[in-house]
Structure 1
Amino acid sequence: MTTPADDAPATPRRGRARGEQTRQLILETALRLFRERGYAETTMRAIAKEAGVAVGNAYYYFDSKEHLIQGFYDRSQASLRAAVAPVLESERDFAARLRATMHAGIDVNAPYHSFAATFFKTAAEPTSPLSPFSRESSPAREAAIGVFREVIDGSSAKLDPELRRELPELLWLGWMGVVLFWVYDQSPGQRRTRRLIDGAVPLIDRLVSLSRLRVLRPALRQILALIESIRRDD
């Protein structure tokens, strides 16, 4: 026999589950409308109507369209981590791990390519909260850097210790360049972006391998010192 006390803990859990379902419904609806109508043309009122919730309810979960994009960033990182997990669990070669991660990143974002260019115009503004470098984007940014850290740490690559510390963020910065190329890539299936990844990864792998050569260490130290100097200025 159950008692009211036995049932009490379940109520908050059910409430949280329903709340998360509503939140995901609003996010999925927003992303669909972004694809169909474009980011700028989609309003919070339209999203709420399509989702079948009150406008106030939509604003309860997301303060603005910008916050919806932050939700998209977070979900994309979770999807990327899930997509690349089998490779990272089984593969030790650094180049293979990096290549798989970058291709998985393109796969995860492929459904949103149609509105990516319009959206990027907003995200490219230095003061925009949608910028991948903004304070608001820091959770998704750190999650992405964390994936590249997993790529490195689980590999058989032999790295200079100082480079190992900085490389995840450097790879993420390189990935941002790939994403920008992908945004404006109109080739079928964005195959030019795929070729860019396949061509760039061996070069990155080679540079990482060469970083352990004694003759290159002074130059490496200068580069890392420059990065640290820029970071302190921020």
Structure 2
Amino acid sequence: MPTPTAKSEATRELLVSTALRLFRKHGYEKTTMRAIATAADVSTGSAYYYFASKDDLVHELYRTLQDEHRALALPRLREGQNLGELLRIVLNTGVDVMGPYHDFGSNFVGIAIRPSATTSPFGSESAVARARAIALFRQAVAMSRPQPPLAIRDDLPELLWYAYMGITLFWVYDSSPDQIRTRRLIDQAAPLISKLVILSRLPVVRKIAEDIVQLIRGTRQ
């Protein structure tokens, strides 16, 4: 017999997978928690026990993707690699774990950009998941050689995460087989970003980089 913890985890996973299926079929707005519970053969009360709302189901998907991304990326990162190589690994493994959800991608964008959405990756409700994602980029930056200039080193992981969000949006609307165009974008963008980071040691480029850092810091206030 499964342990209570294993049974609870299985129920959570069932509710999330059922919700995704119904979101694809009926749309987010028309899908109710009652419908999700019924389709999963779980009582409505039990569904609300695990998730207070549909938005909580989306946040659970965030957390699952974060855990899978870290588990896939971390063993491949090597101390002393240049930032471009490390960034390519982090970005490609991010696309790897999102792969099974590609047909849900456009639906997700529609959910996340609603004015009142609590599911936006940029919102306060997503702060924990966002911090975990940025932490993976922070680890890549810390392992890279040569190290990025001190002036941008602390803020660079967040800047890289914003770049990752842009690539994710490109991936959502990439209809090429196995999203090969997104892979090409990553392979070209990762070394370019690395070169720009190194060039930020130069006075002219450093001023631009510092302006970008200040811009990002301003969005946190």
Structures share a fold, TM > 0.5? yes
Pair 1:152-2:141 in alignment: yes
Matches of 1:103 and 1:199, distance apart in 2: 12
Secondary structure class of the residue paired with 2:52 = coil
Moved more, 165-174 or 109-118: 109-118
Secondary structure class of the residue paired with 1:120 = helix
Residue 62 of structure 1: CA displacement?
Answer: 0.6
Residue 214 of structure 1: CA displacement?
Answer: 4.3
- Alpha-carbon contact 1:93-1:157 (below 8 Å) kept: yes
Pair 1:124-2:117 in alignment: no
Residue in 1 that maps onto 2:187:
198
Residue 65 of structure 1: CA displacement?
Answer: 1.1
Comparing both chains, which one has the higher relative contact order based on Cα–Cα distances under 8 Å and sequence gaps of 6 or more? 2
Paired positions, count: 219
Residue 24 of structure 1: CA displacement?
Answer: 2.4
Residue 134 of structure 1: CA displacement?
Answer: 1.0
Pair 1:189-2:178 in alignment: yes
Matches of 2:202 and 2:59, distance apart in 1: 41
Residue in 2 that maps onto 1:6:
none
Q: Cα deviation per residue 1:22-53 (whole Å; 9 max; x = unaligned)?
A: 22232233234444555445332232123221
- Alpha-carbon contact 1:26-1:48 (below 8 Å) kept: yes
Please list every run of at least 4 consecutive aligned residues from structure 1 whose deviation after the TM superposition is greater than 6 angstroms: none
Residue 71 of structure 1: CA displacement?
Answer: 0.2
Moved more, 128-137 or 90-99: 90-99
Matches of 1:230 and 1:118, distance apart in 2: 26
Instruction: Give the 3 Å change call, closer, same or farther, for CA 227–90 of structure 1 in structure 2.
Output: closer
Among 109, 131, 139, the residue aligned to 2:128: 139
Matches of 2:161 and 2:22, distance apart in 1: 29
Matches of 1:62 and 1:97, distance apart in 2: 36
Pair 1:212-2:201 in alignment: yes
Residue in 2 that maps onto 1:173:
162
Pair 1:97-2:86 in alignment: yes
If you compute each CA radius of gyration, which structure gives the higher value, 1 or 2?
Answer: 1
Matches of 1:199 and 1:71, distance apart in 2: 32
Task: Note the 1:13-28 alignment, pairs <5 A.
Answer: 15-28=4-17
Residue in 1 that maps onto 2:20:
31
Structure 2 gaps of 5+ residues are none
Instruction: Give the 3 Å change call, closer, same or farther, for CA 157–167 of structure 1 in structure 2.
Output: same
- Alpha-carbon contact 1:182-1:193 (below 8 Å) kept: yes
Pair 1:223-2:202 in alignment: no
TM-score by structure 1 length?
A: 0.84
Structure 1 gaps of 5+ residues are 1-13
Residue 170 of structure 1: CA displacement?
Answer: 0.3
Instruction: Give the 3 Å change call, closer, same or farther, for CA 53–223 of structure 1 in structure 2.
Output: closer
Residue 128 of structure 1: CA displacement?
Answer: 0.8
Q: Which amino acid aligns with 2:186?
A: I
Matches of 2:86 and 2:42, distance apart in 1: 42
Matches of 2:215 and 2:61, distance apart in 1: 33
Residue 17 of structure 1: CA displacement?
Answer: 4.3
Residue 205 of structure 1: CA displacement?
Answer: 0.8
- Alpha-carbon contact 1:149-1:168 (below 8 Å) kept: yes
Residue in 2 that maps onto 1:69:
58
